[in-house]
Amino acid sequence: MAESELFKELAKIRTETINPESTLIDTLSTVDMLELINSQDTLVPLAVKQEIPQIAQAVEIVYNAFKNGGRLFYFGAGTSGRLGIVDASECPPTYGSDPEMVQGIIAGGKEAVFRSQEGAEDKPESGADLVVANNISSIDVVCGIAASGRTPFVIGALEKACEFGAKTILISTVDKKFIIEKKVKADIIISPNVGAEVITGSTRMKSGTAQKLVLNMISTAAMIKLGKTYGNIMVDLQPTNKKLVERSKKTLMMVTGVDYDEAEQKLIEADWHVKTAIVMILANTDSENAKKILEITDGKVRAAIELIKANPL
């Protein structure tokens, strides 16, 4: 029987090749096994570093989309899909962003988050249909996540997104030449060369780690550029539970130097909006003026403080 085209395709993918460093991993002691895995994991950040120019481009298009009311959608299957969902779900509590702003979509739906849905990734039309269902348009960004660079569900989503004029990104860990040969519809290709996996084809390992690092960089940098931090401190968090209420007080204390009681009082005056409370204290103004200036500066705390100090009441 002749080899199928899919078989030939997979044979070209570096994550499907055998890692010569781990061929005897099943003979090692537990400690040696873990040291081997760890030594391979240390290669991942270095591979991601080589992709920073492309990651920077991705950050810019995501940031510009957010400024213009657009959204970021992650499309993936299996581990890749779950990583997209994790990144998307963590943005609202961390940065106070609207849950619609960053969304993760996985082949097979919600059930696939907890249990593998075999075959769900094989239909490009499923990805395309979900682009349509989510009303994705030219102001949005679709980021496909596929270690293999060929997942049909992801490719279908990217192609349909391009039809609607959305900007597209592909995060993979295969050779970029392979992606280009496949004529994948992606404006930006981010593909760290993590090499062969410790366990052949197990892309939840180095590939998954690389994807997680890249997703962290894209969403974090875009949120910083939107003014979601003051320095390296989260200032747009939502105090939706007791822990976050106390974190809001701690944040205000760290940034401004006030004590616990004053932090609570200022947050009450600011309707528990941390940014407003910071501006009130550091620019010596009231809640109403702080909110007004924050609107002018697109929610950027440092700019708001500078504007008030330059134009005192």
Per-position pLDDT tens, the chain of length 313: 555 666 556 656 778 889 999 999 999 999 999 999 999 999 999 999 999 999 999 999 999 999 999 999 999 999 999 999 999 999 998 898 999 999 999 999 888 888 877 677 888 999 999 999 999 999 999 999 999 999 999 999 999 999 999 999 999 999 998 898 888 999 999 999 999 999 999 999 999 999 999 999 999 999 999 999 999 998 988 788 898 899 999 999 999 999 999 999 999 999 999 999 999 999 999 999 999 999 999 999 999 999 999 887 6
Q: How many Å apart are CA 19 and CA 243, to the nearest integer?
A: 44
Reply yes or no on whether 90 is catalytic: yes
Residues of the chain with CATH 1.10.8.1080: 230-310
What does the pLDDT read at residue 8? 59
| Ramachandran quadrant class, 7 (left: phi over 0; alpha: psi -120 to 50; beta: rest) | alpha
Reply yes or no on whether 264 is catalytic: no
What does the pLDDT read at residue 241? 87
What does the pLDDT read at residue 10? 62
What does the pLDDT read at residue 181? 86
What does the pLDDT read at residue 280? 97
Q: Which fold has domain 9-225?
A: Rossmann fold (3.40.50)
Residues of the chain with CATH 3.40.50.10490: 9-225
| Ramachandran quadrant class, 249 (left: phi over 0; alpha: psi -120 to 50; beta: rest) | alpha
What does the pLDDT read at residue 56? 98
What does the pLDDT read at residue 121? 86
Exposure letters 2-28 (e unless 16+ CB within 10 A, then b): eeeeeeebeeebbbbeebeebeeeeee
Structural class in CATH, domain 230-310? mainly alpha
* Active-site annotation holder among 90, 262, 269, 306: 90
